[in-house]
A and B are shown apart, each in its own frame.
Chain A
Amino acid sequence: MKPSRSGSSDRGPILGFSARVVVAGVFVFSGLEKLVAPPEEFAAVIETYRLLPDFMALLLARVLPWLQLYAGLALAAGYLTRLSAALIGAMLAVFIGALGSTIVRGIPLSDCGCYGEFIHLNPPTAIAVDAVLLALTVLAARSGRRLLALDRWIGAPEMRNL
């Protein structure tokens, strides 16, 4: 028996909500993990990518974890869902690019530094994880506002046309 069109679309809100929770959870965890450690430690990880000047590494190490935390919290709450998903998607695209560049340039990274001290991933694994998260982020942006989202309750009119 073929599933009906309406049957498959009924799962959309649940899938969108699940994607939102997973991506938001990863970003909140990742942001907090970096925030509880001294920023110089994350700056040292950024330096190993050899993409930014030294002063930018420390600046990014101070800013990025907050960005991850707040974007993750916004996505979890379903507040400005598409904007927060777009921000997270952009971050993931940059992470994938940066990780890919280390492989292309032959920079040996034993740990991507993505999740602080608790989870250590090498660049190929981190790219795979980020690609899955990016796909989930697209799903969250498309149908993440339809279930348990603040956007539905408070309107978020500026997002309706996105």
Chain B
Amino acid sequence: MGWLGVTALRWRAHRPVVEGVPAYRHYGARDAKIVITEFSDFQCPACRMAAEAVRSVKARHAKKVTLVFRHKPLTKIHPHAFLAAQAAECVGRQGKFWEYHDLLFQRQREWTAAPDVKAALVELAADLGLDRAGMQACLGNPETVRPIMKDIDAAEQKSVNATPTFLVNEDRCVGARQFLTRCLPDIRRKLGEAE
């Protein structure tokens, strides 16, 4: 009976990811055989460490791999994660999602410790040349919440509870270590086979 229950719960995890991730959160080849979906949280230190691995994939495999970023803000332990996700959506709509993604992780300690986190996030966007007033207005717009909620639903459907979680086609790696030691070698092997 226990086995049946567990199998039923696992079955949930293998349903397809919900479609509808905005184009600005895709990186790399459009019709790649390998799709890496990262569920991440901008306030999570483990995600910051994994960002280096993501940068390496972007630099080395962008022509053969599709990278998709999905929000999974762990708001119980990271109180500013949702706001950062909203800010990333605002910047993404202006075409600089990945630059802001990198900046949020590089300067994570700085903006998470700021007395006014919202202002710090707006300043980071301004560093990329975006308009401060536009960012403020966007952060107050409930429309920015919708794509994040969609990602949170998708995470639930795929039984993603921890960040960062990488779904590489059907494989799953949780954390930078698993991504570097298991998923990335698999990706390289598959790309080698495809060549």
Chain A residues with CB under 8 Å of chain B are 32, 35-38, 40-41, 43-44, 47, 54, 69, 73, 117
Contact = CB atoms under 8 A, between A and B. Distances in A.
Contact of B13 (A32, A38, A69): A38
A44 B6 contact: no
A40 B173 contact: yes
Contact of B175 (A35, A38, A47): A47
Given A37-B159, A38-B172, A44-B177, 12 more contacts: A32-B2, A35-B9, A36-B6, A36-B9, A36-B159, A37-B161, A38-B161, A40-B173, A41-B162, A41-B174, A44-B174, A54-B177
A40 B178 contact: yes
B6 A35 contact: yes
Among A35, A44, A54, A73, find the residue whose CB has the most chain B CB atoms closer than 10 A: A44
Chain A interface, >50% SS class? helix
A44 B182 contact: no
25 contacts: A32-B2, A32-B6, A35-B9, A36-B6, A36-B9, A36-B159, A38-B13, A38-B160, A38-B161, A38-B172, A38-B174, A40-B173, A40-B174, A40-B178, A41-B161, A41-B162, A41-B165, A41-B174, A43-B178, A44-B175, A44-B177, A44-B178, A54-B178, A54-B181, A73-B2
A44 B182 CA distance: 12
B2 A43 contact: no
